[in-house]
A and B are shown apart, each in its own frame.
Chain A
Amino acid sequence: MEYLAAALLGLAGGVVGGVLGVGGGILFVPALTIFLDEPQLVAQATSLVAVIPVAIVGTWRQHRHGNVRLADGILIGVLSPLGVVAGVVVSNAVSERVLELSFAGLLLVVAAQLVRRALRSEPREAPPQADAA
C-alpha cells in the first residue's frame, strides 16, 4: 500500500514537472520520507534519481513541441555547480533560519511579479494542436 502511494505521488510529481518545468522533487521527497521511510537527507538525494527521468523525458517531449532552447538550458546546467559552491559558502556564513526566511520572501516577490505580468499581458492561448504524439 505504501509502495502504491509512493508510486502515485511519483506520478503526480511527474505531472507537476511537465506542466511547470520543475524536477518534481517537491513531491518525490515526501513520497520517500512518508511512504518509504527514508530519512530526510537520503530522501533528498534519492529524489534526484527520480528527477533524472522526469527531466530527460520532459525535455524530449517539450523539444518536439519546439519549446526547448537547448544551448541555453545546457549552459545553465553546466554553470550551476558554481552556485552550489557559492551556496555552501553562504550557508556557512549566515544562519539557516535567516536564509530560509529570505529565500521564502524572495519567492513570494517573484510569484507576485509573475502574476502581475500574466494579468497585464494579452492572454496568449494554447497554440492550435500540432500534437506530435
Chain B
Amino acid sequence: MTGSTRDRLLKLGVIATAAGAFSGMFGVGGGTVIVPLLILWFAYGEREATGTSLAAIVVIALVAALAQGAYGNVDLLRGALVGAPAAVGVILGTSLQQRLSERAISILFAALLVVVAVELVIG
C-alpha cells in the first residue's frame, strides 16, 4: 500500500468514525459531517461530496434502521408516509442542485450547519 493510499484510507476512516459518532450521540445524520469533510479534506467538488455522502448514508441508514427495528423503535407505516414523498423530493432536489453553482451549494450547506448548531444549543 502506498503512503498516499494509506493516508486516504485513514482520512476516510476518520470521516466515517466522526459521522457514526455524531449520529449516534445526537441523532444528527451523517451527512452534516460527511459533506463538509469531503470538501475540506479531499477537495471534492460540492456536487461530488453530496452525491458520495448519499451513497454512504444508504449503508449507515440501513444498518441503523435494522438495529433500531430490532429494538422495536421503528414505525414502518409512518416512516413510509414521510419517506414516500421524500423520495419524490430528492429527485427534485438533486435536479435543482445541478442548476446551482458549487459556491451556492457550499453556502446553503453552511446555513444548514448553523441551523443544526442552533437546534443543538436550544433543543
A positions within 8 Å CB-CB of B: 3, 6-26, 28-29, 31-32, 36, 38, 41-42, 44-59, 61-63, 65, 67-70, 72-88, 90-91, 99-101, 103-105, 107-108, 110-115, 117-119, 121, 123-127, 129, 131, 133
Contact = CB atoms under 8 A, between A and B. Distances in A.
Nearest to A126: B99
Say whether chain B's binding surface is mostly helix, strand, loop, or mixed.
helix
A76 B115 contact: no
Contacts, number: 397
Interface of B: 9, 12-13, 15-32, 34-36, 38-40, 42, 44-45, 47-65, 68-69, 71, 73-76, 78-103, 105-121
A44 B30 CA distance: 13
A16 to B, nearest CB: 7
Contacts of B85: 7-8, 10-11, 14
